[in-house]
């Protein structure tokens, strides 16, 4: 009798956790919890930092553009809201791209400038 690999082995569970962290908007909370507990391997910590940084960057820009559109009138408000929708679409597509990189089992599913920013912020405020 040959033993079959466990479909829910440790590697598959880690991969599912990474998917969870990279879910747009919702994944922020488990990723933040992961960073707070400081558990998991280096890859989980890296993806968690990236997910939190992406979410906070998107949220701050989204709120800023929303407030800016409120104070503008007419066509200018429409332009700002249009850019806001493009920004949101870019955030969601970035999360999907990173999920694809996790699925491909890439060693580092990152975006280098954002990853550097996330590392700098963690060292400055959380170390």
Cα–Cα distances in Å, from 90 out to 14, 95, 109, 122? 26, 9, 17, 24
Q: Whole-prediction pTM value?
A: 0.79
- pLDDT attached to residue 117: 78
User: Which has the closest alpha carbon to 19: 92, 93, 111, 96?
Assistant: 96
CA-CA distance, 2 to 103, in Å (whole number)?
27
- The residue among 110, 114, 125, 103 whose CA lies nearest residue 58 is 114
The tens digit of pLDDT for each residue in 11-60 reads 788 888 888 999 999 999 999 999 888 887 888 888 888 999 999 999 99
Domain ranges of the chain: 42-126
């Amino acid at each position: 009798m040959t033993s079959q690999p466990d479909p829910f082995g440790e590697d598959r569970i880690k991969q599912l956790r990474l998917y969870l962290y990279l879910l747009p908007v919702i994944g922020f909370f488990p990723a933040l919890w992961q960073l707070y507990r400081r558990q998991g391997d280096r890859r989980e910590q890296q993806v968690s930092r990236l997910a939190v940084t992406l979410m906070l960057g998107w949220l701050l820009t989204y709120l800023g553009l929303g407030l800016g559109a409120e104070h503008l009138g007419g066509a200018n408000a429409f332009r700002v809201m249009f850019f806001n929708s493009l920004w949101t679409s870019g955030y969601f597509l970035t999360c999907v791209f990173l999920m694809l990189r996790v699925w491909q089992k890439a060693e580092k599913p990152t975006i280098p400038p954002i990853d550097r920013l996330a590392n700098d912020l963690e060292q400055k405020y959380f170390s």
